[in-house]
Amino acid sequence: MAEELDLTGQDSDGGSEEVVLTPAELIERLEQAWMNEKFAPELLESKCEIVECVMEQLEHMEENLRRARKGDLKVSIHRMEMERIRYVLSSYLRCRLTKIEKFFPHVLEKEKTRREGESSSLSPEEFAFAKEYMANTETYLKNVALKHMPPNLQKVDLLRSVPKPDLDSYVFLRVKERQENILVEPETDEQRDYVIDLEEGSQHLIRYKTIAPLVASGAVQLI
């Protein structure tokens, strides 16, 4: 795992930007995306470029192992590392699918109202899965329950029926880049808004929606 990998992203103006990562940096990006996805209450931006690069890297590592000398201790070590990477990758994807199934009407509504140039929360495959899941859910509800009800009750608003992600839930985070003047909303009507600074390396327990933009930008890491 010595070669560098090209990862296409977006710059602040919405244009295309190529980032060159070493394999170690790529795995670190995957682990960061995995941790953020595990602990964020909402579905985060899709990291399909990272997923694709990691899958290509795993294939490359598998090819190298086939050419390696049998009985070499390095083979066992590299195979253990591959299994670890596969676990992180599959756990990341399972976590995203679980959120899509749990919040599918809201995920699709957010995708539908997404502004041009704004990053998508869904990969093309996830978008197809979410649409199919919603269609199957509607068909199931209609066949099992709705068709047996009075005509005025045979429609269901899934956006209202399915709970939204709880953005007011609290999360632990580690600050990667110093942030100043973060506005914290009060928990009760008796309290006032207040501003805090987040020092690099510090850890906090804070309401998710307060720092959601910082998670998206990579300034903080959920833990």
Paired residues of 204 in beta bridges: 173
* pTM score: 0.85
Integer Cα distance of 5 and 17 in angstroms: 14
The contacts of residue 10 (CB under 8 Å, 6+ apart) are: 16, 17, 119
Q: Give the pLDDT of the chain (223 residues) as one tens digit per residue.
A: 445 666 655 554 445 556 788 889 999 999 999 999 999 999 999 999 999 999 999 999 898 888 877 777 788 888 999 999 999 999 999 999 999 999 999 999 999 998 888 888 999 999 999 999 999 999 999 989 888 888 888 888 899 999 999 999 999 999 999 999 998 887 766 667 789 999 999 999 999 999 999 999 999 999 9
